[in-house]
Amino acid sequence: MSLAFQSFLRRDCTVRRVDDLFLVFFRPSGQTHMLPVTSMALLDALDETPLAVADIPAALAARYDTEAEVGAEAVVERLLRELEEVGLVEQVPMGRVPEEPVNGGVTA
């Protein structure tokens, strides 16, 4: 079973744009992160469906109406590792039904 990644951007995060970066408040950890647009695009793409790493560059390219680059997969892997460390993405086994969101409306 191969691994895929997903995020819970809409459920778990509050986002504010600051110049060309994004401030993300991640409710499960209570931490604030600053992300460049590429990371943000990744989180956004993974928010809808878990994707295998190999499929992510093509999915991003389709989303932004551009061409997937050679070598993009290695970059995506690195980005995912960093995002996973802070909990913004998580691994799921492929074929698993995306989680039903639990009550994400917990107030601070």
Partner 1 sequence: MAFAGLSSGGRSGRSMTVRIGPIQYRLTSPLGRLWDELAHLYREYPQNDPQHCPEYEVRVAPTSWWRRFVRSQINIRADVMGPFAPLPATLGQVAFEMGMNYQLVMGLNRYLSLHASSVERDGECVIFSAESGSGKSTLAAGLAYGGWRLLGDEFAFIEPGTGLALPYPRPVSLKNQAIDVMAELAPAERFSRRYHGTPKGTLCYLLPPAESIARMDEPARPRCVVFPKFIPDSTPAIRLIRKPEAHILLVASSTNYQTLGEAGFLAMADLLDACPAYEITYPSMEAARALVEQIWQHSGEMRQKAQAAHG
Partner 2 sequence: MMNDQKPNADVASRRHLLKLGAMAAPAVITLAPASARAAASVLNCRVPFPDNVDSNGNACATPTPAGGGGNGGGPPPWAGGPGGNPNPGGGQGGQGGSGGDQNQPICYPGPGADMPAVDADALQKAILLQDDGGSSFDGQMAAYQKYLARVKSQQLEGSSCLMSIELAGR
Interface residues with partner 1 (CB under 8 A) are: 14, 16, 18-19, 21, 23, 25, 27, 30-32, 34, 107-108
Tell me whether residue 28 or residue 98 sits nearer to partner 1 (CB atom): 28
* Residue 38 partner contact from partner 1, partner 2, none using kind-dependent CB cut-offs of 5 to 8 Å: partner 2
* Residue 58 partner contact from partner 1, partner 2, none using kind-dependent CB cut-offs of 5 to 8 Å: none
Interatomic CA distance for residues 65 and 61, integer angstroms: 6
What's the one-letter identity of residue 7?
S
- Please report how close the Cβ of residue 9 comes to partner 1 at its closest, in angstroms: 15
H-assigned helices in the chain: 9-12, 37-46, 56-63, 72-85
* Residue 66 partner contact from partner 1, partner 2, none using kind-dependent CB cut-offs of 5 to 8 Å: partner 2
Interatomic CA distance for residues 22 and 3, integer angstroms: 27
Strand partners, 6: 90
Interatomic CA distance for residues 50 and 36, integer angstroms: 21
- Please report how close the Cβ of residue 83 comes to partner 1 at its closest, in angstroms: 18
